[in-house]
Amino acid sequence: MFRGRAEKKVMEAGYEPARLPPGQYLTEKWPVLHAGAIPATDLATWDFRVTGEVESELTLSWDDFNALPRTSHTQDIHCVTRWSRFDVTFEGVHWSALEELVQPLPSARFVVAHAEQGYTANVPISFLRDPLSLLATHADGEPLTPEHGWPLRLVIPGKYFWKSAKWLRGIELTASDRPGFWERYGYHNDADPFEEERYAF
Ligand SMILES: Nc1nc2c(c(=O)[nH]1)N[C@H]1C(S)=C(S)[C@@H](COP(=O)(O)O)O[C@H]1N2
Ligand SMILES: [Mo]
């Protein structure tokens, strides 16, 4: 069976070649990618909001957020610019802890993640409920660095990494799907790396 150079490298590193989505290459380093500048964050004024199709909207301070139950898990990340990194361990709060507090309405079917400076990303609510999703404060055992989204980033499994908003400030539940920042620029709404859903056209 033909294997390209990227797959060969994955095998040489001791992984199943099928673990690498088509058109991607494996990187050991963790590249930094975002639009705009790294925001300056003051934890004293930072807050996190859950809004939209919920029984009760919620605003949490940094201390409130860190009092929520925590979990961690390991997964692969895939950027649409073609790098993939395997086995990144994220630690933070799972959406289920927030869902209990806000109680989504039956109309809540989609999510808009809101980050600093107006960055947004949209997913169906099922991706937030996925056991591998996370509102992450740590990666690989350390607090997130500013360039990787400190103090809080979203981690959405099974999608290109642009859905995983860095510098996350809120989750909005919506009844209908609303394209986020990259989706409005022509990136694919569904963004499944194994289907190579890179661009909408
Ligand atoms: N707030 C914000 N989050 C963002 C982005 C961005 O521009 N702004 N870029 C996305 C893209 S395209 C990728 S690949 C990942 C990169 O995360 P990293 O820099 O931690 O690797 O962040 C995503 N989250
Ligand atoms: Mo990306």
Q: Does a structural domain hold residue 153?
A: yes
Instruction: Encode the chain in three state secondary structure.
Output: CCCCHHHHHHHHCCCCHHHCCCCCEECCCCCCCCCCCCCCCCCCCCEEEEEECECCCEEEEHHHHHCCCCEEEEEEEECCCCEEEEEEEEEEECHHHHHHHHCECCCCCEEEEEEHHHCEEEEEHHHHHCCCCEEEEEECCEECCHHHCCCCEEECCCCCHHHCCCCEEEEEEECCCCCCHHHHCCECCCCCHHHCCCECC
Which tens digits make up the pLDDT trace of 69-96?
999 999 999 999 999 999 999 999 999 9
CA-81 nearest atom, ligand 1: 14
Q: Does a structural domain hold residue 50?
A: yes
Q: Does a structural domain hold residue 16?
A: no
The pLDDT score that the predictor gives to residue 3 is 66
Residues of the chain with pLDDT below 70 are 1-3
Give residue ranges with CB within 6 A of ligand 1.
30-35, 79, 115, 119, 148-149, 161-162, 164-167
Q: pTM, whole model, 2 decimals?
A: 0.97
The pLDDT score that the predictor gives to residue 89 is 98
Q: Does a structural domain hold residue 200?
A: no
Number of domains in the chain: 1
The pLDDT score that the predictor gives to residue 128 is 98
Q: How far is the CA of 77 from the centre of ligand 2 (A)?
A: 10
Domain range for 50 is 44-76+88-195
The pLDDT score that the predictor gives to residue 201 is 82
The pLDDT score that the predictor gives to residue 104 is 98
Which tens digits make up the pLDDT trace of 19-47?
999 999 999 999 999 999 999 999 999 99
Q: Does a structural domain hold residue 19?
A: no
Distance CA 52, CA 178 (A): 13
* CATH code for position 175: 3.90.420.10
Pocket test for ligand 1, best of 29, 145, 153, 162 (most atoms within 8 A of CB): 162
Q: Does a structural domain hold residue 28?
A: no
Q: Does a structural domain hold residue 18?
A: no
Q: Does a structural domain hold residue 6?
A: no
